[in-house]
Amino acid sequence: MSISTETVGANAERARSHNRQMVLDRVRQAGQIGRAEIARGSGLSTQAVSNIISDLLSDGLISEQGRKATTRGQPPVQYGLNPVGGYAIGIEIRPDAIFATVLDLCGTPAASLRRTLAAHDLDGVTEAVVAAKSAIIEEADLPASKVLGVGIVMPGPFGRTGLSGTGSELSIFHDVSPTDWFTEALSTPVVVENDANAAAVAELVAGVARGFDTFACLYFGNGLGLGLIQEGRLVRGAFGNAGEIGHIPVTSNGRAVPLEAALSRLAVQKHLASAGFDITSSDGLAEAYAARNAALMTWLDAAAEPLSHAITIIENMFDPDAVILGGAMPDAIFDHLIGSVKLAERSVSNRPGRMTDRLLRGASGRMTGTLGAGALVINRAFTPRIAAVAR
Amino acid sequence: MSISTETVGANAERARSHNRQMVLDRVRQAGQIGRAEIARGSGLSTQAVSNIISDLLSDGLISEQGRKATTRGQPPVQYGLNPVGGYAIGIEIRPDAIFATVLDLCGTPAASLRRTLAAHDLDGVTEAVVAAKSAIIEEADLPASKVLGVGIVMPGPFGRTGLSGTGSELSIFHDVSPTDWFTEALSTPVVVENDANAAAVAELVAGVARGFDTFACLYFGNGLGLGLIQEGRLVRGAFGNAGEIGHIPVTSNGRAVPLEAALSRLAVQKHLASAGFDITSSDGLAEAYAARNAALMTWLDAAAEPLSHAITIIENMFDPDAVILGGAMPDAIFDHLIGSVKLAERSVSNRPGRMTDRLLRGASGRMTGTLGAGALVINRAFTPRIAAVAR
DNA sequence: TTGAATCATCAAGTAAGTTGAGTTAATTGC
DNA sequence: GCAATTAACTCAACTTACTTGATGATTCAA
């Protein structure tokens, strides 16, 4: 049952689709770019690029944006993404609610909604997801033709593993492929990932990881997850469960505990509860931090070390451009952690002449999971597909 | 200076090259396979596959191997790799010596040699590598046209990092790209990787990882490295230094030490030395193990725990098909470790219905680095290239 | 023995990229 | 100010490599 990817052959049709997505991706990465420049960078002739650009123009995915002043010669016409050329729907399934959002091509949210999740069986969840899709399409008034697909984010790990029962995973999908299931139920292209992977893609598409090729996103959900991007693609593992960093044992006060017992949203809530504070919302945490709540500050002091440990593991295992913190914590708390953590000197990431900090705060805020769901779809629209296709 | 990959456009020429490599890879993976089956699996027409097969036949890369008995219809002609259709040269640069080998298309060694390495400056090393290449070509009597390329393995990490000076890395390449340097010096296609990555590819091409898509190879060099394969490709990190697992701190006897201080070839040698045994060769270790040397057995007992810890980290971070042990340890010692290590229950890899053990011993023996150097080239010959090209 | 199923080849057709000549539009240098 | 230079862009013919559909080959099953 391992996820497997298979390389497919190239024919004219697939080559065209590949080239279209490649050109689109170059336009996105550059912001504005001309045809000749794309041709130089891609190894295609300017004529081929010209034809593809004219396709993309008539599909409304890109728009002409003036000419660029150059040193000599005819100034190249610049093209940029047309944000309203396509939309992605992102749906996040949380234990208590379903969140849905619509992102435009640039990854900017155009609408969003929240529905409490009553039933937790397969049919109930499916129905809720289908309803959320219809509702958000209606709310944003999207023509069906502009919907690129639906991204769905749910807690991992997927399938039966040794971690089953430790988190908030959806056991209703233990024996059903969620991707196949929702593709069927929604009759649309569907991408399914866990929250940490989605957060990483959100940062790649519209966050601080724009321009990065290889990075890691340490994600604070209820537990602690890790989204890994290598050469612009998700590192998913053989069964889609890579990045379960929260379950790595660390020693805390001489005892071996899972990392997420020391470093996660639940960990801080538990610590605060034991000090008599019942704080469960992000706003509550932000207020407590603003008020310099003593229990919270103690926890933050204690959290710096396991965080440093986690980052050392990530850096030495992945050699990323940077590690990004994301998820269910107020920005102020992330900033505090980033300021107080002592990064290891013995790390492959401790290199002279770095262009960015080793540790960054994500830009997607606390809705990063839902935004990430949409970002998965956007990302797929920009990813050329000859070579490997998941099956 | 980060390694960057760039997606290129598809044209007829690149599509053909992609398809050739894809077909070749399917032939390799299947052992024996017919044209129609390749067509079904690849999404190409049988006619297209037929044309490519006839190309590969006339290049001598594959051979006809009879017809397969089927239930009905004309029995398909089967094709398999022709081992003598191409050769890869693998060169491993160790601190004290240079090893070279020639592998045929199936990854079987055809010749090998060892040269002591006198000079350690850039020119000296370069000269030795160039000489090793000529010598091994002469020894194996290879026609130039059949040489697919040269794979070079050297200790990492590459470039200036926070780990500089802790291992046996080649500091002469701190400010030169080894790939560019050797491509120039050898005027052949060159692939350069560290020993752990090469070991992983060796297992993928001709070892126990044949058929795996996503796995990890824990490599005992002087230190401890990790080679990661995800969807058939190396996970290299932003700067080619992913997998430096040996530098992750672990607690041993209450002190934080790098993992490789507890678990590596140097670690066992040091432990034996402190007990009065001067054992530095693999044969020596194997003898000591056969004799149940008390100091060695103590070390092995103590090593089980850090090994278990390392595997837990790898499994939860990568969700691999399996973890493979490879490198500079006698098989008997690996087997002992595999038998004695207690794998964590709380792991994404602890799943019901597994097809393989979670922990396997590599098949390449102690020359795995050198074999891996060749395997890098073999692997590249089978990897379709539209999509991403390193630059 | 005939029909179904599958593999295989041929020849014509087609999609998509390439090539090379010619046009457009800007800067540079006299 | 004007010609030369440079670079972007377009058109039309050409090329490559895959697809399609017809035909034949080979085997098993009824």
- Give the pLDDT score at B349: 95
Cβ within 8 Å, pair A215-B238: yes
| C chain positions with any atom within 7 Å of a protein CB | 4-11, 14-20, 24-28
Rounded to 10 degrees, the C-alpha dihedral A148/A183/A14/B23 comes to 150
Q: Which nucleotide is nearest to B55 (CA to C1')?
A: D17
pLDDT-flagged residues of chain A (< 50): 388-391
Cβ within 8 Å, pair B244-A317: yes
Helix (H, G, I), strand (E, B) or coil at B117: coil
Q: Up-side HSE of residue A378: CA atoms within 13 Å toward CB?
A: 35
Rounded to 10 degrees, the C-alpha dihedral A140/A143/A148/A153 comes to 30
The whole model's pTM is what?
A: 0.93
- Give the pLDDT score at A386: 81
- B236 contact partners, CB below 8 Å, separation of at least 6: A230, A319, B3, B193, B197, B242
Rounded Cα distance between B315 and B309, Å, is 10
Q: Which nucleotide is nearest to B71 (CA to C1')?
A: D28
Rounded Cα distance between A271 and A277, Å, is 9
Helix (H, G, I), strand (E, B) or coil at A25: helix
Of B282, B280, B291, B270, the residue nearest B329 (C-alpha):
B282
* CB B37 within 7 Å, strand C: yes
* CB A10 within 7 Å, strand D: yes
Give the chain B residue whose CA is nearest to the CA of A347: B162
What is the distance in angstroms measured between the alpha-carbon CA of B36 and the sugar C1' of C1?
Answer: 29
Residue A120 burial by Cβ neighbours in a 10 Å radius (0-12, 13-18, 19+): middle
Residue with tokens 């824990």: B218
- AA letter at B383: T
> Contact, A227 vs A219, CB < 8 A?
yes
What is the distance in angstroms measured between the alpha-carbon CA of B73 and the sugar C1' of C4?
Answer: 9
CA–CA–CA angle B247, B248, B252 (5° rounding): 105
**Tens-place pLDDT, residues B136-147:** 999 999 999 999
| Backbone dihedral angles phi then psi of residue B159, each to the nearest 5 degrees | 80, 180
Of B376, B379, B369, B377, the residue nearest B196 (C-alpha):
B369
Cβ within 8 Å, pair B162-A346: yes
| D chain positions with any atom within 7 Å of a protein CB | 5-12, 15-21, 24-29
Write out the DSSP string of A33-101: EEHHHHHHHHT--HHHHHHHHHHHHHTTSEEEEEE---SSSSPPEEEEE-GGG-EEEEEEE-SSEEEEE
- Give the pLDDT score at A353: 87
* CB A134 within 7 Å, strand D: no
* CB A16 within 7 Å, strand C: yes
Q: Which nucleotide is nearest to B38 (CA to C1')?
A: C7
Rounded Cα distance between B75 and A14, Å, is 31
Rounded Cα distance between B159 and A214, Å, is 17
Give the chain B residue whose CA is nearest to the CA of A344: B162
For chain A, the straight-line distance linking the first and the last C-alpha, in angstroms and rounded, comes to 11
Question: From the DSSP assignment, how many helices (H) and strands (E) are in chain B?
Answer: 12, 17
Cβ within 8 Å, pair A245-B317: yes
In whole angstroms, how far apart are CA A274 and each of A268, A271, A286? 10, 5, 18
- Using CB atoms, pick whichever of B235, B320, B348 lies closest to residue A230: B235
Cβ within 8 Å, pair A239-B319: yes
| Backbone dihedral angles phi then psi of residue A368, each to the nearest 5 degrees | -55, -35
Alpha-carbon distance B218 to nearest alpha carbon in chain A (angstroms): 12
Alpha-carbon distance B292 to nearest alpha carbon in chain A (angstroms): 32
* CB B11 within 7 Å, strand D: no
- Give the pLDDT score at B1: 56
Strands (E), A194-332: 215-220, 224-230, 233-234, 249-252, 255-258, 323-327
What is the distance in angstroms measured between the alpha-carbon CA of A27 and the sugar C1' of D10?
Answer: 22
Cβ burial A80-110 (10 Å sphere, 16+ → b, else e): bbbbebbbbbbbbbbeeebbbbbbbbebebb
Token code pair at residue B229: 């394969």
CA–CA–CA angle B5, B9, B13 (5° rounding): 115
> Contact, B349 vs B214, CB < 8 A?
no
Cβ within 8 Å, pair B317-A312: no
* CB B52 within 7 Å, strand D: yes
| Backbone dihedral angles phi then psi of residue A101, each to the nearest 5 degrees | -150, 160
- Give the pLDDT score at B2: 74
pLDDT-flagged residues of chain B (< 50): 388-391
Q: In the beta sheet, which residues pair with residue B102?
A: B89, B111
What is the distance in angstroms measured between the alpha-carbon CA of A12 and the sugar C1' of D18?
Answer: 7
Helix (H, G, I), strand (E, B) or coil at A214: coil
> Contact, B82 vs B68, CB < 8 A?
no
For chain B, the straight-line distance linking the first and the last C-alpha, in angstroms and rounded, comes to 11
What is the distance in angstroms measured between the alpha-carbon CA of B66 and the sugar C1' of D28?
Answer: 19
In whole angstroms, how far apart are CA A128 and each of A119, A175, A193, A235? 9, 20, 18, 29
Protein residue closest via CA to C1' of D20:
B45
Alpha-carbon distance B11 to nearest alpha carbon in chain A (angstroms): 7
Q: How many CB pairs under 8 A join A and B?
A: 239
Q: Which nucleotide is nearest to B18 (CA to C1')?
A: D17
**Tens-place pLDDT, residues A294-310:** 999 999 999 999 999 99
> Contact, A314 vs A216, CB < 8 A?
yes
- Give the pLDDT score at A186: 96
Cβ within 8 Å, pair B235-A235: yes
Cβ within 8 Å, pair B215-A238: yes
Peptide bond into A157 cis (omega under 30): yes
What is the distance in angstroms measured between the alpha-carbon CA of A332 and the sugar C1' of D13?
Answer: 64
- Give the pLDDT score at A390: 47
Tell whether the torsion through CA atoms of A365, A368, A374 and A377 is positive or negative.
positive
Of A320, A388, A323, the residue nearest A359 (C-alpha):
A323
Alpha-carbon distance A264 to nearest alpha carbon in chain B (angstroms): 17
**Tens-place pLDDT, residues B232-261:** 999 999 999 999 999 999 887 778 889 999
> Contact, A129 vs A94, CB < 8 A?
no
Cβ within 8 Å, pair A22-B44: no
* CB B58 within 7 Å, strand C: no
Cβ within 8 Å, pair B244-A319: yes
What is the distance in angstroms measured between the alpha-carbon CA of A50 and the sugar C1' of D11?
Answer: 12
Residue with tokens 């395997």: B375
